[in-house]
């Protein structure tokens, strides 16, 4: 696949196309063993390695990140005042196209998925693809069989959901939509208040042992499973 050199480099790092042009003009980019001179030249990154300041760019069409969002951080890539999820991502992994697939409320915690693949993000959050999102919640009072039945039928106008009571005033809930404040609204509809909300799973992705504030790239196996879950071919 041949792609414009400036677009290629911009897609692999935090630089804008304008900044990439400057890098090329400054003689900091090589393609194979020659100096790159024209931002618009087309290159095949799989056939000819591209070097920036002597370091090879390992070309990947997309980047997929799993973040353990702590409470108090906005599910956003930028904000003028508040701490956002992207602040937790090392700069080497910043990409202009990085977006969040399925936001969490500011006070919510857990699995946040960021990807540069817009179609993947869209499908993960669209109910048509039935991707299960699992949340563990602390409530103001326990739930029992009545609430399990109510969730199974659908509460507050939402689709049926699976509710599993956990010891104490805790529960696990699985939903396939992702509407604004959905889990809190569902519990409110059965007279409970969510005190703490942690997303532990998104389709085949599990939060696992990632500590709050930590971020990691998906493994090739996870990427495979994720694309399959929404009927897409893996793009890389
Ligand atoms: N449901 C909510 O109420 N909040 C979230 O952050 C996610 C799901």
Query: What backbone torsions phi and psi does residue 134 show, to the nearest 5 degrees?
Result: -110, 130
Q: Report yes or no: 42 and 4 within 8 Å, Cβ to Cβ.
A: yes
183 lines ligand 1 (CB under 6 A): yes
Residue pLDDT tens, the chain, 236 long? 788 999 999 888 888 889 999 999 999 999 999 999 999 999 998 888 999 999 998 888 899 999 999 999 999 888 888 999 999 998 888 888 899 999 999 999 999 999 999 999 999 999 899 999 999 999 999 999 999 999 999 999 999 999 999 999 999 999 999 899 999 999 999 999 999 999 999 999 999 999 999 999 999 999 999 999 999 986 55
CATH of domain 3-57: 3.10.290.10
Q: Report yes or no: 27 and 166 within 8 Å, Cβ to Cβ.
A: no
24 lines ligand 1 (CB under 6 A): no
User: Would you call 105 a catalytic residue per the annotation?
Assistant: yes
Extents of the domains making up the chain: 3-57, 64-127+204-229, 132-202
- CATH topology match: 3-57 vs 64-127+204-229: no
Residue 78 is predicted with a pLDDT of 83
Q: Which two tokens stand for residue 165?
A: 């009571």
Report the SS3 class of residue 10: helix
DSSP string, 192-232: --EEEEEEEEETTEE-TTPPTT-EEEPPHHHHHHHHHHTT-
Query: What backbone torsions phi and psi does residue 87 show, to the nearest 5 degrees?
Result: -60, -25
Dist CA 146 CA 88 (whole Å): 41
Q: Which two tokens stand for residue 46?
A: 């799989």
Active-site residue among 87, 105, 138, 236? 105
Query: What backbone torsions phi and psi does residue 122 show, to the nearest 5 degrees?
Result: -60, -50
Angle formed at CA 185 by CA 179 and CA 186, multiple of 5 degrees:
95
Residue 89 is predicted with a pLDDT of 93
Q: Which two tokens stand for residue 151?
A: 């969730």
181 lines ligand 1 (CB under 6 A): yes
182 lines ligand 1 (CB under 6 A): yes
By residue count, the chain amounts to 236
Nearest CA to ligand 1 atom 2: 181
With left for phi above 0 and alpha for psi between -120 and 50, is residue 22 left, alpha or beta? Answer: alpha
Residue 223 is predicted with a pLDDT of 96
Dist CA 206 CA 180 (whole Å): 22
Residue 79 is predicted with a pLDDT of 81
Closest CA to 121 of 12, 226, 32: 226
CATH top-level class of 64-127+204-229: alpha beta
Report the SS3 class of residue 21: helix
Nearest CA to ligand 1 atom 4: 181
Could you tell me the fold of the domain covering 132-202?
Alpha-Beta Plaits (3.30.70)
Residue 149 is predicted with a pLDDT of 98
Closest CA to 60 of 12, 120, 6, 108: 12
Q: Which two tokens stand for residue 236?
A: 């890389």
The ligand 1 atom nearest the CA atom of 133? 8
Residue 212 is predicted with a pLDDT of 98
């Amino acid at each position: 696949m041949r792609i414009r050199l400036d677009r290629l480099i911009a897609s692999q790092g935090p630089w804008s196309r304008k900044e990439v042009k400057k890098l090329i003009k400054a003689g900091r980019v090589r393609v194979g063993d020659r100096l790159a001179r024209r931002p618009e030249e087309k290159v095949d990154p799989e056939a000819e390695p591209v070097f920036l300041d002597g370091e090879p760019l390992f070309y990947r069409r997309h980047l997929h990140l799993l973040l353990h969002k702590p409470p108090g951080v906005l599910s956003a890539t930028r904000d003028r005042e508040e701490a956002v999820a992207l602040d937790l991502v090392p700069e080497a992994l910043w990409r202009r196209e990085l977006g969040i697939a399925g936001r969490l409320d500011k006070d919510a915690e857990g699995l946040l998925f960021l990807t540069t693949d817009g179609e993947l993000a869209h499908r993960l959050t669209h109910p048509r693809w039935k991707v299960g999102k699992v949340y563990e919640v602390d409530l103001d009072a326990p739930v029992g069989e009545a609430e399990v039945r109510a969730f199974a039928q659908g509460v507050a106008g939402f689709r049926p959901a699976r509710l599993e009571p956990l010891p104490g005033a805790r529960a696990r809930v699985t939903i396939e939509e992702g509407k604004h404040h959905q889990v809190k609204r569902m519990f409110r509809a059965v007279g409970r208040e969510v005190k703490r909300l942690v997303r532990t799973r998104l389709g085949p992705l599990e939060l696992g042992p990632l500590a709050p504030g930590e971020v990691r790239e998906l493994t090739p196996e996870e990427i495979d499973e994720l694309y399959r879950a929404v009927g897409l071919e893996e793009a890389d």
